Chains A and B, each alone.
Chain A
Amino acid sequence: LAKTTQPISMDSYEGQEVNITCSHNNIATNDYITWYQQFPSQGPRFIIQGYKTKVTNEVASLFIPADRKSSTLSLPRVSLSDTAVYYCLVGDMLNAGNNRKLIWGLGTSLAVNP
């Protein structure tokens, strides 16, 4: 069963690039890696998802090495509004049966300072 590990907290300043790494040594072949953002008193919100190599969208990039045992969420030029908790999720994309596994990390609390 995959287990995800990520740093508890990180600090940054406005305008800097932030990289948050998640370790998932036991990732399964069918598992995708997804990152979510959560603000206080709200539900998590999808940021980006990938299977291997690099994925980029309008808000972030996701780097996944060939062995897929870790992944790095990259947030370019963060602002104060990026202060939130970021979760790594490893999930079985193809198993729609009763053994669906969704393994969430405990979250990284990012503080962006002025």
Chain B
Amino acid sequence: NAGVTQTPKFRVLKTGQSMTLLCAQDMNHEYMYWYRQDPGMGLRLIHYSVGEGTTAKGEVPDGYNVSRLKKQNFLLGLESAAPSQTSVYFCASSPMTGGSYNEQFFGPGTRLTVL
């Protein structure tokens, strides 16, 4: 099992450019999440999905869009990148049953710099 993978690992964008971050999981998890991690801010939830075809806003959704067309994939899009979106982005997934409901499995992260 590869677990949770993220593509790309690093990216540099210019202000106004767009890009899509891809997250894939092979654990058949229902829930998937996108976070950003900034120094001194901890982890903040951007968007999440409770199943294929569903998405919902998290704590800091502005400037981002997501799609979950397939159960194993969760895409995060930046339509017009801004320097404030410079961050490390983590994707996670979790099962929805039993005591491990809130155990999230994280990917290795994508380091994004917007100039």
Interface set of A (CB-CB < 8 Å, partner B): 32, 34, 36, 41-46, 49, 87, 89, 91, 93, 96-98, 100, 102, 104-107
Contact = CB atoms under 8 A, between A and B. Distances in A.
A42 to B, nearest CB: 6
B6 to A, nearest CB: 9
Interface string B53-64: 000111000000
A49 B107 CA distance: 20
Given A43-B108, A44-B104, A49-B103, 13 more contacts: A32-B102, A34-B103, A43-B90, A43-B92, A43-B106, A44-B43, A44-B106, A46-B103, A49-B102, A93-B101, A96-B96, A98-B57, A102-B33
B72 to A, nearest CB: 17
Nearest to A91: B102
B74 interface: no
Nearest to B48: A100
Interface residues of B, number: 27
B46 to A, nearest CB: 11
B42 A96 contact: no
Contacts of B103: 34, 46, 49
B44 interface: yes
A45 B102 contact: no
27 contacts: A41-B108, A42-B106, A42-B108, A42-B109, A43-B4, A43-B90, A43-B107, A44-B106, A46-B103, A46-B104, A49-B103, A87-B42, A87-B43, A89-B102, A93-B102, A97-B50, A98-B56, A98-B57, A100-B48, A100-B50, A100-B56, A102-B58, A102-B102, A105-B42, A106-B41, A106-B42, A107-B42
A106 B40 contact: yes
Contacts of A36: 104
B45 interface: yes
Contacts of B56: 97-98, 100
